[in-house]
Amino acid sequence: MTCEKCGREIRNSSGICVYCAGDNQAVQDDGGAISPHRRFCSSCGEPLSGGGFCSFCGTRIALEDQPSVTNSSNPPLPPVAAHAKSTSAGSGKAIISLLSLGVFLWILYQSGIFSGLLSTITPEVQQSMHESFDVGYWNYRVDKMLTLGQLGKGSFAEKPDGRFVVIFLTVKNGDTTASTLPPPTLRDSDGREHSTTVKFGSDLPGDDLSIVTLNPGVTKSGYFIFDVPADALVLKLALSGGFKSGQKALVPVY
């Protein structure tokens, strides 16, 4: 055949002219049929039969130059059917995404992480000792505070690392299920948060509320023990309304 660009004779099977690199897309196959979709190696000009390399010269074939193969048993869908299939697949993915999001939010709710998020946007309500107040699912009344240099007697006697601060209070579970009282913290004037500590054999009146589970509607009096530094001054008790409420109260103790 003759190259359409330079007019020189090239092989019938060649799509790329070896003289001028002209692209002769309309190529006559055996029998004279025109095959406009045929692809040819850009290096040697031989027709490509599929795969990633030219079967004549071994040159790697770019993806866009590889001959397309149409599966006659699966003809392409008409535009309307293709759109319907695409829409159906998209709807399925959206439903799966919504279900996954629902499961994720449920896990956050059950683990109490929401309470931490809510506490960042819910202000702490200032309350006073000797007065009953509600915080979330719980009702509190802070009765008194003691500062001690030792807990227990005899072989059970224990010295603090700093000083023991014991907070006596009365609590009521206002939730619909049995629950352990949310652990309070004791905040000093430097903004440091001190957690409770359990001391067995402390010889204190009442129960250590940090290890007590209350049924719904039950009221109980007891105490929390804190071991705070000797220089911790102007203490405030931070109380929570429950793991799912996010509400907090701050009570100055003295």
Which tens digits make up the pLDDT trace of 140-189? 999 999 999 999 998 889 999 999 999 999 999 999 999 999 999 999 99
Percent of the chain with pLDDT over 90: 42
Q: What is the chain's mean pLDDT, rounded?
A: 80
DSSP helix/strand/coil, 103: helix
Question: Out of 9-18, 56-65, 144-153, 241-250, which region has the weakest mean confidence (pLDDT)?
Answer: 9-18
Instruction: Band the pLDDT of 9: cuts 50, 70, 90.
Output: confident
Note whether 133 and 201 are within 8 A (CB): no
Domains of the chain: 1-68 (no CATH), 116-252 (2.60.40.1240)
List of residues 6+ apart from 13 with CB closer than 8 A:
27, 46, 47
- Cα(102)–Cα(161) distance, rounded to whole angstroms? 46
At residue 28, the pLDDT reads 45
**pLDDT value, residue 84:** 55
